[in-house]
A and B are shown apart, each in its own frame.
Chain A
Amino acid sequence: MTAEQAIFAIAGPICVIAAANAVLRRDPLTAALSLTVTLFSLAVLFLGLGAPFLAGVQIAVYAGAIMVLLIFVIMLLGVSHVEMPRLRRPALQLAGPLIAVALFGVLAAAILRGGLPPASGDTADGSVDALADLLFGRYTFAFEAASVLLLAALVAAVVVARKRSTEHEWPGRR
């Protein structure tokens, strides 16, 4: 058993269980915490896959920033937003799992039928240097575009969440 196999064997199940927990819990806070576990276990898997820097980013940015923000909002809005315990719109509650099973089934079938190009024997240089070369070389434009995207998202978030001082009378139909 290689290290990678060991990592997969441990982190994989944790990841799935946490993910399932995140999806099944009615309480968003618990779900968020479960998701964080998933994120951590994914970071471990990334390590096993030879992408240590990404693992770091996953923990720092994803788990660290995004999830914190999410949890902050959950707390901000109060715990009262726990979903109602009763089963609502049962058709949809049934459709969810069904879709998931179908989705996984189809995807698994596709994956298991193989046909992928052969794996390259060597391993890539996963160092930060190499990453930086790519990021500021081939992917410069994407990088810049992503920065514009973040700016746009910022503005969008501000605009939509900003509290209006004066509610304008809307001239449309109610």
Chain B
Amino acid sequence: MSSIANVQELIAKRAASELKGPSVVNLGIGIPTLVAKYVKDELIHFHTENGLLGVTDVEEADPNLVNAGKLPVGEQVGAAFFSSAESFGMIRGGHIDVAILGALQVDETGRIANWAIPGKNIIGVGGAMDLLVGAKKVIVTTSHLTKGGKSKLMKACTFPLTSTRSVDMIITEMAVFSVLNEQLVLTELMPGVTLEQVRKNTEAQFVEGGFSS
């Protein structure tokens, strides 16, 4: 398999192909941030929870124009700025069509853990819990395995859950899963990956959908 960067781009590109305008999309930190550059549809508008609808690629970095990962971004023609209170009103209130998030772990009902690692000094949750309860559709993008080679798609998460809500889709460098009735359904193998490889590298139970490799 290719380098980490290549894997991330592969996943981001696949996630981008799920987006159809008109829609409002919130991108999380990490792989999700990479999704934007593969989106050409002008009817797709990116929302960032720190207060901007209409995020674009950065042209000239402005330290006061950043996304939720505090990276410099640009502003689309037709954009709007607003406060954090209004921004999370949009999120909780169901006004975001799609959230693309990263995950540390996914359980076999499609619930994710992406905000805390027991025993580590990571004391932050940010907007992850809000996006999970509020976005109409949630897509998770993540590498299939941890750095240590273990499956991130597990029977049960060992890290604290971000929400009781199951996500709608999981995209890794090996496969794409839909979550139907709190069950993972394999719907697609990524190029060059075999069903056997996915089985071997996935701890979570999953159903094989009618997919094409």
A associates with B: no
